[in-house]
Chains A and B, each alone.
Chain A
């Protein structure tokens, strides 16, 4: 990739689980004009003292380095890891997708769902709710196919990501 070109970065941040920490991270991005393409957060240890925030952002190499440095200087931030840079990683998100329709379209949506290994987690005679987990582009592709078949509502979790192999952040 060109040094000055844009790139996407998936950044994992371990934070002290204290009041306002998410607002700090989001305020940093809005205040300094960085992109947020996805942001997820949840406590990740037994004692619930730490949360992991996964952010997908994009920018030039210099901006991404700056984002990491800015995150790192927030007082409750423990670790910042650029999963995109630090070796192979896996990123997944989950979506709940409501498709409303009858007849042939309804059957077609079910066939496609099977091909994508989406699960039916709610059904009425006029609707389905599918649950689909996968990489972002897989979810996007599925949604594109559902659109003409009565796609009514989507809820996506945003991305959770982790490094491949034994490496931890």
Chain B
């Protein structure tokens, strides 16, 4: 080991980050990490973005990571810095986003003494991370940083915390480069088993009513091209989870839209009625399956996932394939082409005729009055935003907060490419969208980055308006302002007898003035005739903008599979006959 002992731990960390290709760190300083901030001050290779809250640093890193396919990097201080980051870490864990978070820690000799700003960070973040480290010896420092990056991005991606006692930052430490093999024992399987591929192919070739159920794993794998090739090769219908949107182009006729609780009628009924299901990089989340006992009851299920624990977790499958989605797709494409068995063409054509009948129900339909002064339907606002940002010659990235607006964004904003859609799916973290958009804008300075928000969620990390101003990040915040925690209000209407307990957004700020006080531009649309003008003005503004879009306060998000119901028991929206089976008691306990 050609160890060079002249650098401090802090300098070793920066050198390791640089070698890992880190260009940006999102962070917030404090006593325990001052040596790192000092090292940052003395170099130019890595840019530090000062957020206004540590939770936002992690979400920004997530946005950065999801939109680039690289690892996001975070730096926070000990104690409250680390605890503030926890929500972001769990968010990244649930959504499989690669993040490395460096946390300060009190000096090793004080650990366990309830020292000032001491928290048991590795203890607290153990279930909040894919893996974490406490560096107790200078000679481990460089290796651990490299390992953290390896673990964050290999296998199923996720957040990794490296807890750094202050004395380790100050003391000289040896530098070592990344080792060739990443980690001594952690070597996730990426290449699928041949026998499993053959078995999957046999089922797929014989399928009369097939469906591809794809998810965030396709984005993680960077396998969109291969997915498209496979879907076109087979002629099969394809649906996607919330997390997978963009992996397959929304405009493709073989795309059925999102499935699940707020998915399309055709996607859910195709899932329900299929005879062979191929799940790729999707984890059978309860928001997707509905009542498990009634989930796609007649199908043979093939599940390909890089994480064996995702397979047979909620739904027992017939063929399990452990591997990277890209490798699996490549293997399936090769096997499909090499195999002489003709696919079930006639059955497939009949299946498509059935799917087209379901499609004709037009389950995302809504009614917008065009009259002057008419109230804006939130779906219409998203639809107009989509139409006015399409084909404008700029890359467009959309993030969301959590709630109805998030679902309307998923339904009505149509994604053609992967990595353009940033949303908090697994944890459902209100306050995710603004910092995530910030991270995206840092990674893509020339792109149009829009956070589709709710008026309640946006207040959860509103302080980041300061970050937008400081770094001149022209993020657009498009608030669908219904003056309610709309998703909560909707559940209270449908499940709790219309008792709107604590779900009204009282005492809201004036968002136009709020924008102005943060050196941004504030706009407002009160009625449908003002909407296009506000969107146009927002798009023409080269600064951060808050567009406060006052929408229908009572609109519900449909279609909807009530908790505990099956895919064929969806509630459709206005103008559709309700075929709701009603909500069961078992459903009421679900969230």
On A, residues with C-beta under 8 Å from B are 16, 19-20, 23-24, 27, 31, 62, 65-66, 69-70, 72-78
Subset of 30 A-B contacts with CB under 8 Å:
A16-B184, A19-B134, A19-B136, A20-B122, A20-B126, A20-B132, A20-B134, A27-B127, A31-B127, A62-B312, A66-B309, A66-B312, A66-B313, A69-B307, A69-B311, A69-B313, A72-B308, A72-B309, A73-B155, A73-B156, A73-B309, A74-B131, A75-B130, A75-B151, A75-B183, A75-B186, A76-B131, A76-B185, A76-B186, A78-B185
Question: Once bound together, how far apart are the Cα atoms of A75 and B311, in whole Å?
Answer: 18
Question: Once bound together, how far apart are the Cα atoms of A109 and B346, in whole Å?
Answer: 80
- Asked whether any CB of chain A lies closer than 8 Å to the CB of B123, the reply is yes
Q: Is the CB of A23 within 8 A of B123?
A: yes
Question: Once bound together, how far apart are the Cα atoms of A76 and B187, in whole Å?
Answer: 11
For the complex formed, measure the closest distance between the CB of B61 and the CB atoms of chain A, giving whole angstroms. 20
- Asked whether any CB of chain A lies closer than 8 Å to the CB of B554, the reply is no
Question: Once bound together, how far apart are the Cα atoms of A31 and B185, in whole Å?
Answer: 24
A19-B134, A62-B316 in contact; A73/B126 too (CB < 8 A)?
no
Main secondary structure of the interface of B (DSSP, over half): loop
Q: Is the CB of A69 within 8 A of B308?
A: yes
Q: Is the CB of B184 within 8 A of A75?
A: no
For the complex formed, measure the closest distance between the CB of B423 and the CB atoms of chain A, giving whole angstroms. 24
Q: Is the CB of B309 within 8 A of A69?
A: yes
Kindly list chain A residues whose C-beta atoms are within 8 Å of the C-beta of B308: 69, 72-73
For the complex formed, measure the closest distance between the CB of A68 and the CB atoms of chain B, giving whole angstroms. 8
Q: Which of B131, B185, B308 has the most CB of A within 10 A?
A: B185
How many chain B residues sit at the interface, stated as a range, is: 20 to 34
For the complex formed, measure the closest distance between the CB of B483 and the CB atoms of chain A, giving whole angstroms. 38
Question: Once bound together, how far apart are the Cα atoms of A107 and B309, in whole Å?
Answer: 54
For the complex formed, measure the closest distance between the CB of A83 and the CB atoms of chain B, giving whole angstroms. 19
Residue in B closest to A3 when the chains form the complex, CB atoms: B316
Kindly list chain B residues whose C-beta atoms are within 8 Å of the C-beta of A76: 131, 185-186
Residue in B closest to A24 when the chains form the complex, CB atoms: B126
Q: Is the CB of B126 within 8 A of A27?
A: yes
Residue in A closest to B187 when the chains form the complex, CB atoms: A78
Kindly list chain A residues whose C-beta atoms are within 8 Å of the C-beta of B136: 19
- Additional A-B contacts beyond A19-B136, A27-B126 (9; CB < 8 A): A16-B184, A16-B185, A23-B123, A62-B316, A66-B309, A70-B309, A73-B155, A76-B131, A77-B185
Kindly list chain B residues whose C-beta atoms are within 8 Å of the C-beta of A66: 309, 312-313
Question: Once bound together, how far apart are the Cα atoms of A78 and B188, in whole Å?
Answer: 11
Q: Is the CB of B312 within 8 A of A65?
A: yes
Kindly list chain A residues whose C-beta atoms are within 8 Å of the C-beta of B122: 20
For the complex formed, measure the closest distance between the CB of A102 and the CB atoms of chain B, giving whole angstroms. 47
For the complex formed, measure the closest distance between the CB of B399 and the CB atoms of chain A, giving whole angstroms. 28
Kindly list chain B residues whose C-beta atoms are within 8 Å of the C-beta of A20: 122, 126, 132, 134
Residue in B closest to A4 when the chains form the complex, CB atoms: B316
Kindly list chain B residues whose C-beta atoms are within 8 Å of the C-beta of A23: 123, 126
Kindly list chain A residues whose C-beta atoms are within 8 Å of the C-beta of B156: 73
Question: Once bound together, how far apart are the Cα atoms of A62 and B183, in whole Å?
Answer: 30
Kindly list chain B residues whose C-beta atoms are within 8 Å of the C-beta of A72: 308-309
Question: Once bound together, how far apart are the Cα atoms of A57 and B184, in whole Å?
Answer: 28
For the complex formed, measure the closest distance between the CB of B284 and the CB atoms of chain A, giving whole angstroms. 12
Question: Once bound together, how far apart are the Cα atoms of A66 and B184, in whole Å?
Answer: 24
Kindly list chain B residues whose C-beta atoms are within 8 Å of the C-beta of A74: 131
Kindly list chain B residues whose C-beta atoms are within 8 Å of the C-beta of A78: 185
Kindly list chain A residues whose C-beta atoms are within 8 Å of the C-beta of B151: 75
Residue in B closest to A71 when the chains form the complex, CB atoms: B309
For the complex formed, measure the closest distance between the CB of B141 and the CB atoms of chain A, giving whole angstroms. 15
For the complex formed, measure the closest distance between the CB of B546 and the CB atoms of chain A, giving whole angstroms. 39
Question: Once bound together, how far apart are the Cα atoms of A74 and B188, in whole Å?
Answer: 11
For the complex formed, measure the closest distance between the CB of B184 and the CB atoms of chain A, giving whole angstroms. 7
Q: Which of A20, A74, A77 has the most CB of B within 10 A?
A: A20
Kindly list chain A residues whose C-beta atoms are within 8 Å of the C-beta of B184: 16
Residue in A closest to B160 when the chains form the complex, CB atoms: A75
Question: Once bound together, how far apart are the Cα atoms of A77 and B186, in whole Å?
Answer: 8
Kindly list chain B residues whose C-beta atoms are within 8 Å of the C-beta of A69: 307-309, 311-313
Interface string of B169-198 (1 = CB under 8 A from A): 000000000000001111000000000000
Question: Once bound together, how far apart are the Cα atoms of A75 and B188, in whole Å?
Answer: 10
Residue in A closest to B156 when the chains form the complex, CB atoms: A73
Residue in B closest to A18 when the chains form the complex, CB atoms: B133
Kindly list chain B residues whose C-beta atoms are within 8 Å of the C-beta of A75: 130-131, 151, 183, 185-186
